[in-house]
Amino acid sequence: MSEQTVAVALGSNLGNRADNLARARQQLAESVGSLLAASRIYETDPVGPPGQGRFLNQVVLLHTPLEPEAILERALRIEARLGRVRRQRNGPRTIDLDLLLHGSRMCATEQLSLPHPRMHERPFVLVPLCELLPAWRHPLRGETVRDMLAASGGAGVRVWASNAGTSTPAGVAHGN
């Protein structure tokens, strides 16, 4: 398969959240593909069980020759290395990595669905994704990221006050 642009959502609400995102970005770049761009970091309200701290969320774009299943496998290994323990669905976590899209590829297996099946419902994904790929069109819904964000309302998502960890590679700017 030829190289594709993929989008991965990063989230953390345990430990040093910003450091967790930075370490995940570095490990994704080392094991998945070259980092093309990173959104700003956003602080978001948790989705899931009550009593959780706020999340830091971000989306990165990578250029990779890997198949989606290989990216998922590597993302799960990165999560484990960074201390992710799956105790409860949507519970607190040191890091959460979700493969959102792999070019315009569609797939639905027991382990992986592309595009991510709930991305259109999640402002904490759509806001940073819109920063990078506002015109990307969801192949099943027919809507752009900008359209999905407008429909979601973007509630509970704020630019994080300290965006020091969002530097992108030389020559690569944040999305518009």
The answer to whether residue 147 is catalytic is no
Active-site residue among 98, 105, 137, 146?
98
**Cβ proximity of 166 and 41 under 8 Å:** yes
Active-site residue among 40, 96, 122, 147?
96
Cα–Cα dist 13/69, whole Å:
26
**Cβ proximity of 33 and 62 under 8 Å:** yes
**Cβ proximity of 7 and 97 under 8 Å:** no
User: Cα(first)–Cα(last) distance of the chain, in Å?
Assistant: 29
The answer to whether residue 84 is catalytic is yes
Active-site residue among 25, 74, 93, 122?
93
The answer to whether residue 93 is catalytic is yes
Cα–Cα dist 116/123, whole Å:
13
Active-site residue among 17, 84, 122, 147?
84
The answer to whether residue 96 is catalytic is yes
Q: Which residues are catalytic?
A: 84, 93, 96, 98
